[in-house]
Amino acid sequence: MKTYKEYLKEAGNVHLAYYVQAADKLGIRYEVLVKSLLAKFQNEGKSWYIINTATPLTTTTSTTICKRKQLTNLVLKKAGLPVPIQEDLQVPIDAIKFFAEYKDIVIKPTQQLGGIGITILPQNEEQVLKAFQNALEKSKSSSKSKVLGEEFIQGDNYRLLVLGNEVIGAVRRKAAHIVGDGRNTVRELIAQTNKSREESLLKPIPIDNETILKLKRRDLNLESIPEENEEVSLRYNCNLTTGGTTQECMQEVHDFYKQMAIKAVKAVGAEFGGVDVIAENISRPSKCAINEINYNPGLRVHYRVDKGEVVDVALPIMKYIRDKYLNS
């Protein structure tokens, strides 16, 4: 069996490589038709395609609902599932009014990926206006609704990977952070962390305005020297693409959250999806909300964990697709 790095070289895409590797383990024939994009899989006369991270397990309608965050929020709310308060922000004054009413808010594009264009907890009207403009510029929405205001939910971030009637993977997602050693500056610690992230094929922690503001709220800057073992968070969003980390935590997840995630994926009309949950305590029912559903969840969060065991989630996904096609 080839190594993951060999599959990655062949597939050209970190997520597609996991599917290709799983197919090989299962004896499913595959062909990378367009490197970094498209692969064809064949088993017992049946064939299917995976495009980057998009599988045959989502419909056009479920994909559209998940892409448009306000539609996800609406559908889940109608299904009786907990979601943050959300409002369409058409013009800058709408953002100011939303901030005045809720104070702790998130401003984000109605359609985007990877945390792009999101501002979490702007502190004043000037920051709110900048956040609105940033979300507007980054929004991929072709409709009039381009920017959303959302209630900020306190708690830890989790990704529950749903396949059919079960949760096959669960990770706690942590925002980009560094741990002090009493000697190096924040800037130096970021550089050290980014070197190890590069070795793990992960994107670096960016040093940008959000990083500066997050440090400033703790009376720190890039030249500050954190104490030994002091953990310093550098962002609010937990995306791997902006330096986030993940911890496998399936054994901690209470069945309450598993059933909620399964119900959420079914509510949007899909068989497979990554459900992003914010919860105060994942080990027991607590205050929580579903932030969004990823119709084409990246698998890397389950393979590049900082703590816990790696769960080979691509394997059950490929088995599920194979069996679905064999029985059709």
Structure tokens at 103: 């104070």
pLDDT in tens, 35-81: 999 999 999 999 999 999 999 999 999 999 999 888 999 999 999 99
Token pair 């709110």: residue: 128
Number of other residues whose CB lies within 10 A of the CB of residue 251: 9
pLDDT in tens, 268-317: 999 999 999 999 999 999 999 999 999 999 999 999 998 999 999 999 99
Read out DSSP for 224-255? --PPTT-EEE--S---GGGT-EEEE-GGG--H
User: What are φ and ψ of residue 289, in 5° steps?
Assistant: -155, 150
- Predicted local distance difference test score (pLDDT) of residue 141: 86
CA angle, corner 249, sides to 246 and 252, nearest 5? 150
pLDDT at position 213 over 90: no
Q: What is the mean pLDDT of residues 84-109?
A: 95
Do 56-83+155-175+243-328 and 85-152 agree at the fold level?
no
Q: What is the mean pLDDT of residues 204-222?
A: 91
- Predicted local distance difference test score (pLDDT) of residue 195: 95
Per the DSSP assignment, residues forming a β-bridge with 290 are: 277
CA angle, corner 96, sides to 287 and 280, nearest 5? 10
What's the CA gap between 186 and 215, in Å, rounded? 9
Mean pLDDT value across the chain: 94
What's the CA gap between 231 and 180, in Å, rounded? 6
Q: What is the mean pLDDT of residues 25-33?
A: 97
Helix, strand, coil % over all residues of the chain, rounded to 5: 35, 25, 40
Architecture of domain 56-83+155-175+243-328: 2-Layer Sandwich (3.30)
pLDDT in tens, 111-162: 887 678 888 889 899 999 999 999 999 998 888 889 999 999 999 999 999 9
Q: Which CATH number fits domain 85-152: 3.40.630.30, 3.30.1490.20, 3.30.70.100, 1.10.600.10?
A: 3.30.1490.20
3-state SS, residue 62:
helix
Structure tokens at 125: 């009207």
Residue boundaries of the structural domains of the chain: 1-52, 56-83+155-175+243-328, 85-152, 177-235
Provide the 8-state DSSP code for 110.
S
Read out DSSP for 67-92? HSHHHHHHHHHHTT-----EEE--SH
